[in-house]
A = this chain, B = another copy of it.
Amino acid sequence: MTENDIYQKQSFGAGLEKGTKPALIVVDFVNGFIDPEVFGGGNCLEAAEASVPVVAAFRQAGLPVVFTRVIYAEDGSDAGVWCEKVPRLKELTETNPMSQVVDFLAPEPGDVIIRKRQASAFFDTPLSAILRSKGVDSVVIVGATTSGCVRATVVDAMSHDFRPTVIADCVGDRALGPHEANLFDMKQKYANIIVAKDVGQILP
């Protein structure tokens, strides 16, 4: 049996029904997660570029657009265990150019900006409450990296009972093995997977 067969036999990988009001979550498309000298590389730039029309489609439809950034205090007062595992995370401060959203995806007034200390956009942030206040029941996720903050955000979206969709060509990673492996896991267990050209199908 292939891995796919094993999962299918155990009832994994079913499609999720379409939600009624999706929000777009743009996970950590900041300079530092594009730059191969910091936390980026691989297909991250390509994925960020492919996200431009997706962001435009959500704005045109009047749907919420959320941007996330990893932000630690300049003085290290809020650094925790994750900064011990990945020491350079501490460099991502409010004013560091590496933690600014890439120019070509710049947030506009009315977009929601979520600052986070951890991988998931939902963990210890007001994201789930803000989405509820806007009547959102489903989320579409693009960003970097597939095996890190995207995966963690997708798992938490599902756990909060938002219906998650991942746009495969709009998520990127520094190395392609983990990118592919995490798309497999998310498809089987946590999300619908589509490609950018089909984004119209998930808009209301």
Query: Which A positions have Cβ atoms within 8 angstroms of B?
Result: 3, 6-7, 10-14, 16-17, 38-39, 41-42, 73, 75, 77-82, 84-88, 109-113, 117-120, 123-126, 128-130, 132-133, 135, 137, 147-148, 151-152, 155-156, 158-163, 174-175, 177-178, 181-182, 184-185, 189-191
Contact = CB atoms under 8 A, between A and B. Distances in A.
Contacts of A161: 80-82, 129-130, 132-133
B175 A85 contact: no
Contact of A14 (B84, B128, B175, B182): B84
Given A81-B161, A137-B135, A189-B148, A73 B16 contact: no
A132 B155 contact: no
30 contacts: A6-B41, A6-B174, A10-B88, A11-B87, A13-B85, A16-B84, A17-B84, A73-B113, A75-B110, A77-B111, A78-B126, A80-B132, A81-B163, A82-B159, A82-B161, A118-B158, A119-B155, A119-B189, A123-B159, A124-B128, A132-B132, A132-B137, A132-B162, A147-B189, A151-B185, A152-B159, A177-B181, A178-B181, A178-B185, A181-B185
